Amino acid sequence: MLGNRSDSPASAAEEQEGREVLRFGNDLELSAYVNHQLSRRRGEWREAEVLSGPCLVVTRETLQRTGGLDFSLRERRFIIADWCLRARQLGIRLALSAASYVHVLQPLAARAAHPDSEALAARAEAGREYCAKWRIPDERLYEPGLPVPENLSALERQPAIPLGKTPAALPLVTAVVYFEEKWPAEASIQRQLLLQGLQSYGNIRWISVRDSWTDTTPDFPVHERDTVITVQGEKPWLHALENISAMYQSEVTVYMSASVSYDSEYVARIVKALLHSPAALIVSAAPGLAESELPGNPERGTAVVLPLERTAHRGDILPGRIVKRESSRRSLLLCPGPELAVGYIAGASVSGAGVPGGNDRPSERKGGTQP
């Protein structure tokens, strides 16, 4: 029983544990390490001023009393610390439990290896906002560890943040980036950063799917809601891609190949087209292809396929099977069910820029293009 206590499992990723980086050759080595640690430390726990790791265990009552997260603080470590401090103001104790273990397979912070000046400024501003909220001198941001108030009981109690969904200004889009080849980790990171930084659409959850035999846990600089899926082998890779739409719910799912170039308005354009059409799937033509050159209706009963790298679908459908093209490269095709209506929109201009006020309403057809 947690009672009047919130727990965080002991983890190398926990700030109080030094954020140690542990590497294991396979699942057996990880399991052996965890079993050894738990056999030595079972039943141990210690109180903490704040928690920061990958897993927090709280009761429903505690969550209802403390409220939700303050995302205005932007940085994950400050958001979690703020929630912990609000919980402590209500008399809730925080503890690190050594009787359980969580191993983090990817970094928790949204930080690039070499952040630019704008990212550094945003990070510094988030720290100052956190310090101002809890009356902590800014100078303490430069000290080791996460700064916390010296006398929390002397501070005015912070109000609870109401729980529940807040309507987003933009529909949530799940952008699935898949790597056809076995990219080196560093190249994958740079490509992912480029794709994320280029798109103008403001509400994207990025899901990256890689197949790698050599580096199963690349250090992707992902945001809190993003996910990196690394598998070994072609079948698990295709299986992961086919199941993403069921695992990650959103209004729209967009598929993007790491080997394809996209203009900055690509996601915004294809999402707008999908939301203004009764079609279940939208296909964006290659750049420079005019509306008059879009594919025509296939004959009834003809097998149809869509280029996965330029396809988006509504989040409430199962889009169909994902298969390989018959070529040396592992480029992919989507085979939708015959009952699903497919819409087409023209691609961007040859220069790569979106066409302002262009034809965003797709032509609607049943099925797709002929293979």
Domains of the chain: 5-154 (no CATH), 173-366 (3.90.550)
Among the residue ranges 59-73, 100-114, 148-162, 304-318, the one predicted with the least confidence is 100-114
Q: Report how far residue 231's alpha carbon sits from residue 216's, in angstroms, rounded to the nearest whole number.
A: 7
Residue-level pLDDT at 45: 81
Tokens for 101, please give them.
């273990």
**8 A C-beta contact, residue 44 and residue 88:** no
Residue-level pLDDT at 24: 78
pLDDT over threshold 90, residue 206: yes
Task: Calculate the CA 334 to chain-centre distance.
Answer: 23
pLDDT over threshold 70, residue 360: no
Of 244 and 355, the structure prediction assigns the larger pLDDT to 244
Q: Report how far residue 30's alpha carbon sits from residue 44's, in angstroms, rounded to the nearest whole number.
A: 21
Q: Report how far residue 95's alpha carbon sits from residue 48's, in angstroms, rounded to the nearest whole number.
A: 5
Residue-level pLDDT at 6: 63
Per-residue CA distances from 73 to 83, 85, 128, 292 (Å): 11, 14, 9, 49
Tokens for 302, please give them.
């003809």
267's enclosing H/E stretch is helix 266-275
Of 224 and 202, the structure prediction assigns the larger pLDDT to 202
Q: Report how far residue 263's alpha carbon sits from residue 3's, in angstroms, rounded to the nearest whole number.
A: 53
**8 A C-beta contact, residue 175 and residue 228:** no
Q: Report how far residue 320's alpha carbon sits from residue 342's, in angstroms, rounded to the nearest whole number.
A: 12
Q: Report how far residue 49's alpha carbon sits from residue 95's, in angstroms, rounded to the nearest whole number.
A: 8
Residue-wise burial string across 191-203, b where 16 or more C-beta atoms lie within 10 A, e elsewhere: bbeebbeebebee
What is the residue type of 340? L
pLDDT over threshold 80, residue 228: yes
Give the pLDDT confidence of 127-142 residue by residue, as tens digits.
Answer: 999 999 999 999 999 9
Among the residue ranges 86-95, 242-251, 325-334, the one predicted with the least confidence is 325-334
The answer, as to whether pTM is greater than 0.85, is no
**8 A C-beta contact, residue 128 and residue 138:** yes
Q: Select, from the ranges 30-34, 305-309, 353-357, the one with the highest average predicted confidence (pLDDT).
A: 305-309
Tokens for 48, please give them.
């903490």
Q: Considering the chain, what is the average pLDDT of its residues?
A: 78
